[in-house]
């Protein structure tokens, strides 16, 4: 199965679909990543806050050692926790992630949340730029940043984040944010791309049930195609090899204009718990 790639603004190329590991711990994380590599995934998303960097890194190292995949075929992405905002703290946090992952370089390193009340995200991004220059990081980005946070980073550091991972799904399309990302040259990456964090509404299930049936695909494949067809990079998660394979196989069909029109009726407001202007993660 051939997976398209995106070229980021720093010329780093990454697969157009990734594999998420949030809430996967210990052996479950190791086994899920091992299975995902076998299914064809080459982009893996973790975070210090997920408490699974060690098993995720070990699964990647073991796959490389076994010859199942080359290290340069894998993109490993992890995140800076809120507790480590600040220049020196960020440099130490990067070293900690490298140690837990057992890797010499992190391919993509992003700030998990901006924490504007703390107001140290620009300092952290400067530290990431320097860590990239030192070879610890390949590419640097952000997560859950609002457009104004991104613009400030660009203005104050002169470096544009390669991507911004935000909550995007058909019922939370973030049209204005995605337009700003495109203007800035920042790739939109989606967490919770199937909208499972707070459950799916009956209207979403109905609309995508019809779309999936019309295209002869699964419900999840239809939702993920909504992302990929618009240039959004989704990070779905599944421990099931069959579901993993389905979630990667989303490039053999296209949604129609009528499909997109039906999906446009599903948009809902962001859940206040996940508002980047106020959410605090440490």
pLDDT at 258: 98
What span, in angstroms and rounded, lies between the C-alpha atoms of 104 and 75?
13
User: What does the pLDDT look like over 138-160, one tens digit per residue?
Assistant: 999 999 999 999 999 999 999 99
Q: 255 near 230, Cβ under 8 Å?
A: no
Would you give the distance in Å from CA 70 to the centre of its chain?
Answer: 21
When computed from its CA atoms, the radius of gyration of the chain, rounded to whole angstroms, is 18
With 70 as the cut, is the pLDDT of residue 197 above it? no
Catalytic annotation, residues: 50
User: What does the pLDDT look like over 30-74, one tens digit per residue?
Assistant: 999 999 999 999 999 999 999 999 999 999 999 999 999 999 999
The helix/strand/coil state of 263 is helix
Q: Indicate whether this model's pTM tops 0.95.
A: yes
Which helix (H) or strand (E) segment holds residue 262: the answer is: helix 257-263
The overall longest dimension of the chain from CA atoms, in Å, is: 54
* Neighbour-count burial of 126, counting CB atoms closer than 10 A to its CB (0-12 exposed, 13-18 middle, 19+ buried): middle
Average pLDDT, the chain: 96
With 80 as the cut, is the pLDDT of residue 175 above it? yes
What is the DSSP track for 130-198? Answer: HHHHTTSEEEEEEES--HHHHHHHHHHHS---SEEEEE-BTTB--HHHHHHHHHHT-EEEEESTT--SS
Which helix (H) or strand (E) segment holds residue 12: the answer is: none
Going from the C-alpha of 79 to that of each of 85, 144, 201, 220, the distances in angstroms are 11, 11, 30, 26
User: What does the pLDDT look like over 102-121, one tens digit per residue?
Assistant: 999 999 999 999 999 999 99
pLDDT at 45: 99
pLDDT at 195: 75
CATH of the domain spanning 5-272: 3.20.20.100
Residue 279 is labelled as binding a ligand: no
What is the mean predicted confidence (pLDDT) over 201-216?
95
pLDDT at 279: 87
With 70 as the cut, is the pLDDT of residue 125 above it? yes
Q: 86 near 124, Cβ under 8 Å?
A: yes
Q: 220 near 198, Cβ under 8 Å?
A: no
The ranges assigned to domains in the chain are 5-272
């Amino acid at each position: 199965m051939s997976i398209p790639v995106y070229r980021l603004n720093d010329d780093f190329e990454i697969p157009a679909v990734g594999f998420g590991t949030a809430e996967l711990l210990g052996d479950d994380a190791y086994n899920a990543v091992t299975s995902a590599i076998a299914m064809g995934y080459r982009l893996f998303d973790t975070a210090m806050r997920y408490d699974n960097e060690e098993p995720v890194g070990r699964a990647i190292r073991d796959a490389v050692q076994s010859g199942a995949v080359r290290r340069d075929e894998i993109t490993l992405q992890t995140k800076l926790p809120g507790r480590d905002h600040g220049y020196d703290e960020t440099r130490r946090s990067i070293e900690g992630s490298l140690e837990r992952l057992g890797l010499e370089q992190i391919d993509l390193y992003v700030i998990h949340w901006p924490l504007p009340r703390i107001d140290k995200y620009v300092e952290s991004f400067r530290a990431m730029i320097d860590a990239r220059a030192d070879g610890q990081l390949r590419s640097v980005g952000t997560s859950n940043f609002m457009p104004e946070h991104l613009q400030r980073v660009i203005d104050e550091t002169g470096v544009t984040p390669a991507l911004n991972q935000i909550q995007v799904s058909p019922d939370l399309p973030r049209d204005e944010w995605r337009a700003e990302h495109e203007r800035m040259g920042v790739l939109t990456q989606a967490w919770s791309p199937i909208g499972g964090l707070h459950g799916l509404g009956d209207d979403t299930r109905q609309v995508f049930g019809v779309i999936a049936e019309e295209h002869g695909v699964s419900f999840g494949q239809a939702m993920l195609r909504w992302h990929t067809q618009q240039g959004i990079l989704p990070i779905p998660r599944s421990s099931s090899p069959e579901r993993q394979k389905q979630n990667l196989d989303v490039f053999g069909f296209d949604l129609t204009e009528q499909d997109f029109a039906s999906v446009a009726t599903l948009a809902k407001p962001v859940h206040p718990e996940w508002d980047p202007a106020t959410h605090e993660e440490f």
